[in-house]
Structure 1
């Protein structure tokens, strides 16, 4: 299995958007900007800063434009955003300091799609066809297709592989069958149900259909197996991941019995493990740990990251 380990992986940081959006408190803009600026210096290539959503529904993201405008830019680092509809996309297009990245979002269950978007999974796929046309018209490359709740749904229950297949069929019709470049296919453990055997079976299913596709994983550490799922994916050669520094974030519809259990898989813990396994990330781990501790000071409670509390091991030489 170790022969399949990637030599280098790419990690997209989602802590600022996922973390601040998930918290009830609205933190000062200057503190959030300093946090993103610290992340920008770590070697991360992509940082999701904020979302363009209804200020009434998500007041934590009401100042997204000011947030992006204040963040310090650095060559080689993209500061991206999230939008769910045309209104949000319009705001993003008018925003200074943002790097626009085309992404599509699919669902495996009607219940979760209804809760998030007010439509069935099939209707959501139809909506994405309009987004393809919109991105094409603006010259924005579609870089990723996310398939949500691939490993289970807190609202509908277990998700069969056939539900993944329906979305893979749609991707084939929209991209490979039309001769379009296939985007990265992200499998999202939206509610934190995945275990390593599920990771292996879902990745295997995608590879059966698209042998040359780049696969990404969006992992949550809700039940303590996020890093094990990361290892399972590494052993299958997956080299693209979303994560959140200090284990920030989570899904508000995940059905957790305790809010503190909702975090995403922790960036610095993943980077430490990758480096110890001889896998390159391009990330300065010490600076990343400093950023994680900054997040903990801002939020004012102990966060889920392990390495930020244990520290790097002290190497003893004889």
Structure 2
């Protein structure tokens, strides 16, 4: 049984997810050009940078400069990523970003150790203090996220029941601190998801939490990104992370072929052809994809930027 949504909401992560993994440092001016171009496409959420240690992610050393140099557009939320209080304070200090509190748990103990140098009990114990940190800055905590929710390169398959348990733990922590999580993100951090696994995990989380919305953060390392997104749409999921031109990949996944999020323009095309509203101008977004390819200086995996949209093709046929 399918329940396709009438509208989807896209978090564009290309400028952050994409540029963090590039082997050569991307000029700050190039990053700003892409953010400004994306701002004119109809996207209403753009994650522009990460406030992380430059020694670990050198490509994000210019975070403040990127935020200072961009030209904000009305109706667009510009966001950043941080991993600790120091990063959050840097983001707040810019005075130009949309700030939201988020709790994060890991479905893979091995990946948690590699990424945060913590065990599950330490990660769980850190969440109440995280809520208090956000509250101290007047930032609401409405989102939870499960990393490696569909499998892990270091640990293998993850039981769907574990994801349900982690979501329940996050929601309980938030409630204990006077907050209420209304959006739960499921991250396919290392591209272990398949359409059937998406349906199974999403279905179980929905059954246990019918009062929250779900979002999917999907990677395309094994070529199943859009198929998995379609499975999510069939389950009624409305919120998706994506990266223009298919930029990106996780620098901590230790996989030489690790790919970025699902390609934004390819996802928009798929949605449009199914009658699902995105609010995005696909032609302008395709121009952004070509710009992203120019900025990084090598081919990117998105297809629509070269193949074109079906709407444009129909127009040309009708005019001939």
SS of residue paired to 1:238:
coil
Contact 1:71–1:97 (8 Å) recurs in 2: no
TM-score, with normalisation over the residues of structure 1? Answer: 0.95
* 1:238 matched to 2:240: no
Q: Deviations over 1:102-126 (max 9, x none)?
A: 1221101211111111101231122
Q: Distance in 2 between matches of 1:133 and 1:306?
A: 43
* 1:308 matched to 2:313: no
Q: Deviations over 1:211-251 (max 9, x none)?
A: 12100000001100100001101111100010100001111
Contact 1:263–1:304 (8 Å) recurs in 2: no
Q: Distance in 1 between matches of 2:43 and 2:193?
A: 26
Instruction: Give the RMSD, CA atoms, in angstroms.
Output: 1.6
From 261, 264, 267, give the equivalent of 2:261.
Answer: 264
In structure 2, the partner of 1:216 is 215
In structure 2, the partner of 1:9 is 8
In structure 2, the partner of 1:204 is 203
1:47 Cα offset (Å): 0.5
Q: Deviations over 1:187-221 (max 9, x none)?
A: 10000110001101111111121112100000001
Q: Distance in 2 between matches of 1:143 and 1:194?
A: 25
Question: Which 10-residue stretch deviates more, 24-33 or 92-101?
Answer: 92-101
Q: Distance in 2 between matches of 1:78 and 1:291?
A: 18
1:253 Cα offset (Å): 3.1
Contact 1:104–1:144 (8 Å) recurs in 2: yes
* 1:98 matched to 2:89: no
Contact 2:142–2:180 (8 Å) recurs in 1: no
Q: Deviations over 1:29-59 (max 9, x none)?
A: 1111011000011111110111011112212
* 1:137 matched to 2:136: yes
Equivalences for residues 171-186 of structure 1 within 5 A: 171-175=170-174, 180-186=179-185
In structure 1, the partner of 2:115 is 116
In structure 2, the partner of 1:25 is 24
Question: Which 10-residue stretch deviates more, 193-202 or 175-184?
Answer: 175-184
1:148 Cα offset (Å): 0.5
SS of residue paired to 2:19:
helix
Contact 1:109–1:163 (8 Å) recurs in 2: no
TM-score, with normalisation over the residues of structure 2? Answer: 0.94
* Aligned residue pairs, count: 315
In structure 2, the partner of 1:61 is 60
* 1:38 matched to 2:37: yes
1:15 Cα offset (Å): 0.3
The list of structure 1 runs, each at least 4 consecutive aligned residues, that deviate by more than 3 angstroms after superposition, is 175-180
1:143 Cα offset (Å): 3.0
1:66 Cα offset (Å): 1.0
1:183 Cα offset (Å): 2.6
Q: Distance in 1 between matches of 2:9 and 2:292?
A: 22
1:178 Cα offset (Å): 7.1
1:273 Cα offset (Å): 0.6
1:11 Cα offset (Å): 0.2
From 268, 272, 276, give the equivalent of 1:275.
Answer: 272
